[in-house]
């Protein structure tokens, strides 16, 4: 059996341990929800203070030029590109993941209407994150396409049927943390005449992503999870250069080739720039820039590969300790046992997942609850952000979990009561 | 002839004068560009500091519940509703003006496809702000409609032709500040079987807006101009309750009736709530909330009517002083002389508007330049935000303008050089 001291020793040897000092973390809590909202980098508050009081307050309108605000979507995008296997100039930070997905799916329908006019199926995974499915439903309705949902294992066979126009997947599953093989699935999609659209919400800043190496077609992702950009941070969008001229329908003035010529007719800017729409959200971009920097700080220490490896070790430790200490207490692993098949999260099924999670939170272990739909189980979800989590945190979290389950202290009305959840 | 002392006396009698103390303004500058980027309220920086360090940094994911983040789009929307003649629960703050315009125009096409299937024209004004025209082009292409642009005076006759599905206008023209009669044009649109979509970018927080009294159908607006929400602030959207069930295509999870049930099929939330799409941009909403509060602070002093009256007096004073002191120096008024026909801005045409504006900025008078297209003149644009501008500022600005034009000090290579502009 492992001991707490052994976990402390793992932290002492951890080459990534110093990255934790980048963050302001609440005392007395173990934060295992960085997959939902990343922690606050220490650089963010002073940066925002500077942007607000100096750039905006003193510079006012001139800061669009003097502080280069207009270039921030590309500037932050270039940093994100380093995390996802894209090239400089191919990514912009803008809008929300949902809005960006609407842009790329709409562009994909325009491409495929010409390239594969007989393909009318948008294929996705049954337990993909709901907003992806909702946006896909809207795009399919407009295009006269059909949205089909398959279990992960059935996707290759469904592709082979030959009528899929677009395969849209989230790289890391939001419920289970299961990681798709982006290169293999993209190749299968291409072989079937389909385009591959990837949502990197749970993989950007969490696992190595190699968009060009996988030959992906489009990607979107989220700024407020593993990129630590803050609540509701701007999202990002990437388009393979071979598709960069495909029109997308949110043709706002910031995506115009010459926005300040004020011409009446839209002329799309080159490359990824026409995926910009409205004026850049400067406060959100400043915070996102700090968050992305907190991930890029791992570059000299092995970058995303090192971060994912540590996340895997944290998750492996968690699963091992849960096996050892919570046996017979109603938990079932809902995530892959092989860390190479997982993002930076581990989920556990429990019939009383809601009150158990409320009890954990009350005891300072912050994970989250995800309701099961379509027969899937309710889940306890735990994110293992390697930038700021320690092995000893994992020990302490499992200790609390074992205590709560063993004592059934979750089974009181307070913890059963439902409230708004995120 | 007026004197500077007379202007100082006007400030001493101004019942709105104390509102200026709400803002952090740079010293040594006269800021006449609040129509492009509003000034910084003193409350914004501490509010953001609290949201970042406490709500996000300490509260982390729990702040979605404990700080009620999920309700902020409605909360800020309810405050904006007070400024635009809408009811509580009818407005949300979200996304950008361009994205919101895409939502409402798309909804309008769905309504009119059934209600007026023979109407295929989206009518707008030739010198409407470009992003409105660009978004309209995209929506028209998808709907099989035609975008037609008319001069303001020709709009009633064009409506009467009977094939217009949607009239889309910006309430206050971005170039000239000319104010449309929303009630009259909406009535003419309805009489012709058209819906009326209003962009309030230059009127929310600037002129009294009465959406219900005018019986408007849809409205969008900008958070970073007269609402003082900061660079790239979230925008807002209003839908008349009779249209609230009309589907809009950006069907993201935050607009779902039960987002945290994680069901695979989109079911639109009731009312304005399904005009939300992605996760709320909390930092931007916090700053926008402070900005809207800075306008609502005028409510006990007469509210929007009092603010617009003062803006009119500031603009009238500006035009009078320009007439007196800049006669024969190449300026032509490009805004209505009647303050009741103007928003909170005055524009002046000049053949060398670019270098003249650069010289003004170099001398601490901050307006902006707007290029003329389609034969329109290049403009010097001056915003008169009554919340923080004084009559004496107008005097000093005209003094600087008269000096620059009289001495031709604008006519040097430095000021002719073009750079990126906003």
- Whether residues A250 and B52 touch (CB distance < 8 A) is answered with no
Judged by a CB distance cut-off of 8 A, whether residue B70 touches chain A is: yes
pLDDT of amino acid B419:
66
pLDDT tens digits for range A177-225: 999 999 999 999 999 999 999 999 999 999 999 999 999 999 999 999 9
The single residue of B381, B384, B390, B415 carrying the catalytic annotation is B381
pLDDT tens digits for range A202-211: 999 999 999 9
Which residues of B, range 362-401, sit inside 8 Å of A by Cβ?
Answer: 366, 368, 370-371, 373-374
> For helices B282-296 and B72-84, what crossing angle results, to 10°?
30
Segment A356-367 mean pLDDT = 97
- Whether residues A230 and B56 touch (CB distance < 8 A) is answered with yes
pLDDT tens digits for range A311-352: 999 999 999 999 999 999 999 999 999 999 999 999 999 999
Distance CA(A395)–CA(B353), nearest Å, equals 68
Q: What residue in A sits closest to B262 (Cα-Cα)?
A: A130
pLDDT tens digits for range B157-206: 999 999 999 999 999 999 999 999 999 999 999 999 999 999 999 999 99
Of the candidate CATH numbers 3.40.640.10, 3.40.50.720, 3.40.710.10, 3.40.50.800, the domain formed by A48-296 belongs to 3.40.640.10
Distance CA(B213)–CA(B231), nearest Å, equals 31
- Whether residues A65 and B420 touch (CB distance < 8 A) is answered with yes
Of the candidate CATH numbers 3.30.930.10, 3.20.20.140, 3.65.10.10, 3.90.1150.10, the domain formed by A4-31+302-416 belongs to 3.90.1150.10
Q: Name which of A124, A198, A125, A193 is nearest A163 in CA terms.
A: A193
Rounded alpha-carbon distances, angstroms, from residue B252 to A97, A331, B14, B65, B280: 9, 32, 47, 20, 11
Domain boundaries, chain A: 4-31+302-416, 48-296
Instruction: Respond yes or no: is residue B224 known to be catalytic.
Output: yes
Q: What angle do CA A345, A349, A353 make, to 5 degrees?
A: 100
Q: What residue in B sits closest to A53 (Cα-Cα)?
A: B45
Q: Name which of A362, A368, A356, A370 is nearest A401 in CA terms.
A: A356
Instruction: Respond yes or no: is residue B129 known to be catalytic.
Output: yes
pLDDT of amino acid A251:
98
Q: Name which of A92, A31, A111 is nearest A386 in CA terms.
A: A31
pLDDT of amino acid A1:
75
To test the contact with chain A by mutation, choose from B276, B279, B362, B369 the residue with the greatest count of A C-beta atoms within 10 A, namely B279
Residue B422 has pLDDT above 60, yes or no: no
At the top level of CATH, which class does the domain B4-31+303-411 belong to?
alpha beta
pLDDT tens digits for range A45-68: 999 999 999 999 999 999 999 999
Residue A420 has pLDDT above 70, yes or no: no
Distance CA(A420)–CA(B254), nearest Å, equals 13
pLDDT of amino acid A373:
87
Under a CB-based contact definition with an 8 Å cutoff, are residues A83 and A117 in contact? Answer: no
Q: Name which of B151, B170, B158 is nearest B119 in CA terms.
A: B158
Q: Name which of B311, B388, B345 is nearest B30 in CA terms.
A: B388
Residue B220 has pLDDT above 70, yes or no: yes
Q: Please, which pLDDT band fits residue A13 given cuts at 50, 70 and 90?
A: very high
To test the contact with chain B by mutation, choose from A31, A51, A61, A76 the residue with the greatest count of B C-beta atoms within 10 A, namely A61
- Whether residues A57 and B40 touch (CB distance < 8 A) is answered with yes
To test the contact with chain A by mutation, choose from B252, B259, B374, B382 the residue with the greatest count of A C-beta atoms within 10 A, namely B252
C-alpha neighbours within 13 Å on the C-beta side of residue A396: 15
Distance CA(B279)–CA(A130), nearest Å, equals 13
Tracing tokens 């002046």 back to the chain, one arrives at B348
pLDDT of amino acid B420:
55
pLDDT of amino acid B21:
98
Rounded alpha-carbon distances, angstroms, from residue A55 to A64, A76, A98, A219, A279: 9, 18, 30, 32, 16
B401 vs chain A: nearest CA distance in angstroms? 19
Using CB atoms within 10 A of its CB, is residue A418 exposed (0-12), middle (13-18) or buried (19+)?
A: exposed
Judged by a CB distance cut-off of 8 A, whether residue A49 touches chain B is: yes
Judged by a CB distance cut-off of 8 A, whether residue A86 touches chain B is: no
Q: Which two tokens stand for residue B343?
A: 């928003």
How much is the mean pLDDT over chain B? 97
ipTM greater than cut 0.90: yes
Query: How big is the A-B interface in CB pairs under 8 Å?
Result: 292
Segment A18-32 mean pLDDT = 97
Residue B421 has pLDDT above 70, yes or no: no
pLDDT of amino acid B15:
98
Tracing tokens 């997982």 back to the chain, one arrives at A342
Judged by a CB distance cut-off of 8 A, whether residue B417 touches chain A is: no
Segment B320-336 mean pLDDT = 97
- Whether residues B40 and A53 touch (CB distance < 8 A) is answered with yes
Q: Please, which pLDDT band fits residue A419 given cuts at 50, 70 and 90?
A: low
Active site residues of A: 129, 199, 224-225, 381
Q: Please, which pLDDT band fits residue B70 given cuts at 50, 70 and 90?
A: very high
Give the CA-trace dihedral at B47, B49, B50, B56, to 10 degrees: 120
- Whether residues B96 and A95 touch (CB distance < 8 A) is answered with yes
Backbone angles phi, psi at B365, to 5 degrees: -105, 110
Judged by a CB distance cut-off of 8 A, whether residue A135 touches chain B is: yes
Segment A90-102 mean pLDDT = 98
- Whether residues A37 and B60 touch (CB distance < 8 A) is answered with yes
Give the CA-trace dihedral at A136, A139, A141, A147, to 10 degrees: -30
Judged by a CB distance cut-off of 8 A, whether residue B144 touches chain A is: no
Distance CA(A18)–CA(A191), nearest Å, equals 45
Under a CB-based contact definition with an 8 Å cutoff, are residues A33 and A388 in contact? Answer: no
DSSP code at position A268: B
Q: What residue in B sits closest to A247 (Cα-Cα)?
A: B138
Q: Where are the strands (E) in B36-180, listed by range?
A: 40-41, 91-93, 121-125, 146-150, 164-170
Judged by a CB distance cut-off of 8 A, whether residue A314 touches chain B is: no
To test the contact with chain A by mutation, choose from B22, B26, B29, B61 the residue with the greatest count of A C-beta atoms within 10 A, namely B61
Alpha helices in B2-96 (DSSP H): 4-13, 44-49, 63-66, 72-84
pLDDT of amino acid B265:
95
- % of chain B beyond a pLDDT of 70: 99
pLDDT tens digits for range A145-178: 999 999 999 999 999 999 999 999 999 999 999 9
pLDDT of amino acid A418:
82
> For helices B282-296 and A282-296, what crossing angle results, to 10°?
150
DSSP string, B382-393: EE--TTT--HHH
List of residues 6+ apart from B50 with CB closer than 8 A? none
Judged by a CB distance cut-off of 8 A, whether residue A252 touches chain B is: yes
Judged by a CB distance cut-off of 8 A, whether residue B422 touches chain A is: yes
Q: Please, which pLDDT band fits residue A268 given cuts at 50, 70 and 90?
A: very high
Judged by a CB distance cut-off of 8 A, whether residue B46 touches chain A is: no
Sheet holding B91-93, edge to edge: B91-93, B236-239, B218-221, B195-199, B164-170, B121-125, B146-150
- Whether residues B277 and A142 touch (CB distance < 8 A) is answered with no
Q: Which of B96, B230, B265 sits opposite A56 (nearest CB)?
A: B230
pLDDT of amino acid A85:
98
Judged by a CB distance cut-off of 8 A, whether residue A150 touches chain B is: no
Residue A421 has pLDDT above 80, yes or no: no
- Hey, how many other C-beta atoms are within 10 angstroms of the C-beta on A22? 20
Q: Which two tokens stand for residue B371?
A: 């290029």
Q: Which of A69, A98, A371 sits opposite B278 (nearest CB)?
A: A98
Q: Which residues of A touch B146 (CB under 8 A)?
A: none
Q: Which residues of B touch A40 (CB under 8 A)?
A: 52-53, 56-57
**In the 3-class helix/strand/coil scheme, how is A305-345 assigned residue by residue?**
HHHHHHHHHHHHHHHHHHHHHCCCCCCEECCCCCHHHECCE
Q: Which two tokens stand for residue B268?
A: 């639109």
Judged by a CB distance cut-off of 8 A, whether residue B96 touches chain A is: yes
Under a CB-based contact definition with an 8 Å cutoff, are residues A223 and A244 in contact? Answer: no
Residue A393 has pLDDT above 70, yes or no: yes
The length of chain A in residues reads: 422
- Whether residues A281 and B280 touch (CB distance < 8 A) is answered with no
Residue B210 has pLDDT above 80, yes or no: yes
Q: Please, which pLDDT band fits residue B312 given cuts at 50, 70 and 90?
A: very high
- Whether residues A39 and B60 touch (CB distance < 8 A) is answered with yes
What kind and span of H or E run contains A182? helix A182-191
Q: Which of B61, B250, B263 sits opposite A99 (nearest CB)?
A: B250
Q: Which residues of B touch A144 (CB under 8 A)?
A: none
- Whether residues B278 and A95 touch (CB distance < 8 A) is answered with yes
Instruction: Respond yes or no: is residue B381 known to be catalytic.
Output: yes
């Amino acid at each position: 059996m492992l001991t707490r001291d052994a976990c402390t020793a793992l932290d002492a040897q951890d080459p990534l341990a110093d990255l934790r000092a980048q963050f302001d973390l609440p005392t007395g809590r173990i934060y295992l929800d960085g997959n939902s909202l990343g922690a606050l980098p220490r650089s963010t508050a002073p940066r925002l203070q500077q942007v607000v009081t100096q750039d905006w307050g003193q510079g006012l309108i001139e800061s669009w030029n003097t502080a280069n605000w207009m270039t921030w979507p590309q500037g932050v995008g270039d940093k994100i590109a380093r995390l996802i296997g894209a090239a400089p100039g191919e990514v912009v930070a803008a809008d929300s993941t949902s809005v960006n997905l609407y842009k790329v799916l709409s562009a994909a329908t325009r491409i495929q209407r010409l390239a594969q006019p007989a393909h009318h199926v948008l294929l996705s995974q049954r337990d993909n994150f709901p907003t992806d499915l909702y946006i896909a439903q809207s795009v399919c309705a407009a295009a006269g396409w059909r949205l089909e949902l398959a279990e992960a294992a059935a996707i290759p066979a469904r592709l082979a049927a030959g009528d899929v126009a677009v395969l849209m997947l989230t790289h890391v599953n939001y419920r289970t943390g299961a990681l798709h093989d982006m290169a293999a699935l993209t190749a299968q999609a291409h072989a079937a005449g389909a385009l591959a659209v990837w949502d990197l919400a749970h993989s950007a800043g969490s696992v190595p992503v190699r968009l060009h190496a996988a030959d992906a077609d489009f990607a979107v992702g989220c700024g407020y999870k593993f990129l630590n950009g803050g609540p509701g941070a701007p999202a990002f969008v990437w388009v393979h250069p071979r598709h960069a001229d495909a029109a997308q329908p949110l043709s706002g003035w910031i995506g115009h080739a010459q926005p300040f010529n004020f011409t009446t007719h839209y002329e799309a800017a080159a490359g990824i720039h026409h995926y910009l729409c409205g004026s850049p959200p400067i406060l959100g971009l400043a915070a996102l820039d700090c968050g992305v920097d907190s991930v890029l700080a791992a570059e000299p220490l092995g970058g995303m590969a090192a971060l994912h490896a540590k996340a895997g070790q944290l998750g492996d430790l968690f699963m091992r300790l849960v096996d050892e200490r919570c046996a017979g207490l109603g938990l079932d692993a809902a995530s892959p046992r092989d860390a190479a098949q997982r993002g930076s999260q581990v989920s556990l099924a429990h019939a009383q997942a809601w009150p158990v999670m409320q009890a954990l939170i009350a005891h300072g272990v912050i994970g989250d609850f995800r309701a099961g739909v379509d027969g899937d189980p309710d889940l306890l979800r735990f994110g293992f952000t390697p930038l700021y989590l320690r092995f000893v945190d994992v020990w302490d979290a499992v200790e609390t979990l074992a205590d709560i389950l063993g004592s059934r202290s979750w089974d009181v009305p307070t913890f059963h009561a439902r409230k708004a959840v995120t």
